Structure 1
């Protein structure tokens, strides 16, 4: 399956929790790393397009350290992609981003 780029220009993102390491192997607790060797993180995010209802997305992203985000933190999400998947008769869409960071409120006001 291919990755589908998501246009986030008209979207607002808010953290729906705190970031957690993405686990590669649940039995051993091994953390997943990307091809560049950066640890992968997951964060539940409320995503809203203009005046539509918000959707909750679980977004994976690489970062050297956990970002400083908690419930209600406004976020910037860059390079968001939707990744359709199918395994053993189950299917869904996963979401990954190049970066996820707390929104710089000073820049947002400009």
Structure 2
């Protein structure tokens, strides 16, 4: 299996590095584009699970996702794929991540004080 789908349902993602164009060549500054000619961006995300374990991942996405540092986001269609390369006689390997989109997460607002279904302490002054 070349691409490994990532189940993101139990994870919370926060943008920790702003979108920046992915470079093919550091020396020339050549920017990577996808097969449709869109610039590929790299976004740094923290991925936290319910137990508090946090991993930092760089996720590639076509087109500028328009997210900012500190924003809670959802990577849509996140996949991982193994890679390896030989550089200066040394073997490097890892897992790279790509998403179809990175969008702002839908936040659920906490119930406000006094709203239906919330407990509100009541005190009364009796004179």
- For these two proteins, the number of residue pairs brought into alignment is 105
Q: 1: distance between equivalents of 2:105 and 2:9?
A: 14
- 1:73: Cα distance to partner? 0.6
Distance in 1 between residues matched to 2:82 and 2:48, nearest whole Å: 20
Deviations 1:60-87 (A, max 9, x none): 0011xx3332221110111111111111
**Higher-RCO chain (CA-CA 8 Å, sequence separation at least 6):** 1
- Out of 81, 100, 103, the residue aligned to residue 101 of structure 1 is 103
1:4 corresponds to: 4
Higher helix fraction (1 or 2)? 1
RMSD in angstroms over aligned alpha carbons? 1.6
Over alpha carbons, which structure has the higher Rg?
2
| Alignment match, 1:91 | 93
Instruction: Provide Cα deviations, 1:34-77, integer angstroms capped at 9, x if missing partner.
Output: 112211000110011222411100110011xx333222111011
Partner of 2:39: 39
Note the residue ranges of structure 1 that are not aligned, 5 or more in a row: none
Q: Determine the structure 1 residue equivalent to 2:123.
A: none
TM-aligned CA deviation for residue 104 of structure 1: 4.1
Equivalent residues of 1:68, 1:102 under 8 A apart: no
Whether the aligned pair in 1 keeps the contact of 2:65 and 2:101 (CA below 8 Å) is no
Q: 1:101 deviation in Å?
A: 1.8
1:80 maps to 78
